[in-house]
Amino acid sequence: MTALRVHSLHALAYCERLFYLEEVENMRVADAAVYAGRRLHVELERAEDEEEWLTFNLASEQWGLVGRIDCVRRRDGVIVPYEHKRGRSARSRAGEAEAWASDRLQVIAYAALVEEHTGRTVPEGRVRYHADNVLVHVPYDEQARADLARAIARARELQASVERPPVTTNERLCVRCSLAPVCLPEEARLAERLDVPAQGESPVRATLRLFPADDDRRTLHVLTQGARVGRKGDRFEITARDEPPQLHPVHEIGQIVLHGFAQITTQALRLCAEQEIGVHWLTGGGRYTGAWSAGVGSVQRRIRQYRALTDAELCLRLARRLAEARARGQLSFLLRASREVGRAVPAVKDAISGMRKLLSPLARADSIDSLRGYEGSIGAYYFSALPHLVVPEAGEAMRPEGRSRRPPRDRCNALLSYGYALLLKDVTNAILTVGLDPCLGFYHQPRSQAHPLALDLMELFRVPLVDLPVIASINRRQWDEDSDFQIAGQQVWLSETGRKRFIGIYERRKADQWKHPVIGHSLTYARLMELEVRLLEKEWMGEGGLFARMRMR
Compute the Cα dihedral for 204, 206, 211, 216 and give only its sign. Answer: positive
Backbone CA torsion sign across 65, 68, 70, 72: positive
Contacts of 284 (CB under 8 A, 6+ apart): 225, 259, 260, 261
Nearer to ligand SF4, 165 or 230 (CB): 165
Among 55, 47, 23, CA closest to 164 = 23
Residues lying near ligand SF4 in the complex (CB under 6 A) are found at: 15, 17-18, 21, 167-168, 173-174, 177, 179-180, 183, 185
CB nearer to ligand SF4: pick between 14 and 461: 14
CA atoms in the 13 A half-sphere facing the CB of 80:
21
CB of 206 to ligand SF4, least distance (A): 17
29/363 with CB nearer ligand SF4: 29
SS3 130: coil
Task: Considering the complex, state which of residue 285 and residue 544 has its C-beta at the smaller distance from ligand SF4.
Answer: 544
Which CB atom, from 30 or from 439, has the smaller least distance to ligand SF4?
Answer: 30
* CB-based contacts of 212, cutoff 8 Å, min separation 6: 181, 523, 527
Residue type, 280: H
Smaller CB distance to ligand SF4: residue 72 or 182? Answer: 182
Residue placing its CB nearer to ligand SF4 in the complex, 177 or 309: 177
CA 523 to chain centre: 13
Pairing mode of beta strands 235-240, 243-249? antiparallel
Minimum CB distance to ligand SF4 smaller for 18 or for 368: 18
Least distance between ligand SF4 and beta carbon 483 (Å): 51
The residues near 172 (Cβ < 8 Å, ≥ 6 apart) are: none
CA distance 468 to 288: 21
Give least dist CB 251 to ligand SF4, A: 24
Residue 432 makes CB contacts below 8 A (sequence gap 6+) with 278, 291, 293, 296, 297, 438
Least distance between ligand SF4 and beta carbon 264 (Å): 35
Specify the 3-state DSSP secondary structure of 15.
coil
**From CA 309, how far away is CA 305, in angstroms rounded?**
6
CB of 503 to ligand SF4, least distance (A): 35
Measured from the CB of residue 404, what is the shortest distance to ligand SF4 in angstroms? 47
Neighbour order of strands in the sheet with 218-222: 218-222, 253-259, 278-282, 288-292
How far, in Å, are 458, 490, 511 from residue 454 at the CA level?
Answer: 6, 29, 20
Query: Which is nearer to ligand SF4, 124 or 186 (by Cβ)?
Result: 186
Q: What is the full DSSP assignment across 408-440?
A: --SHHHHHHHHHHHHHHHHHHHHHHHHT--TT-
Residues 365, 351 contacting (CB under 8 angstroms) = no
How far the first Cα of the chain sits from its last, in Å, is 53
Which residue, 179 or 318, has its beta carbon nearer to ligand SF4?
179
Query: Shortest distance, CB of residue 29 to ligand SF4, whole angstroms?
Result: 10
Q: Minimum Å distance from CB 17 to ligand SF4? A: 4
**What is the phi-psi region of residue 548: left when phi exceeds 0, alpha when psi lies from -120 to 50, beta otherwise?**
left
Q: Shortest gap between Cβ of 311 and ligand SF4 (angstroms)?
A: 26
Least distance in angstroms from the C-beta of 21 to ligand SF4: 6
164 or 549: whose CB is closer to ligand SF4?
164
Nearest partner of 89 among 44, 132, 53, 120, judged by Cα: 132
Shortest distance, position 427 Cβ to ligand SF4, whole Å: 25
Smallest separation, CB 174 to ligand SF4 (Å): 3
Q: For residues 168 and 491, which CB has a smaller minimum distance to ligand SF4 in the complex?
A: 168
Q: How many CB atoms within 10 Å of residue 78?
A: 12
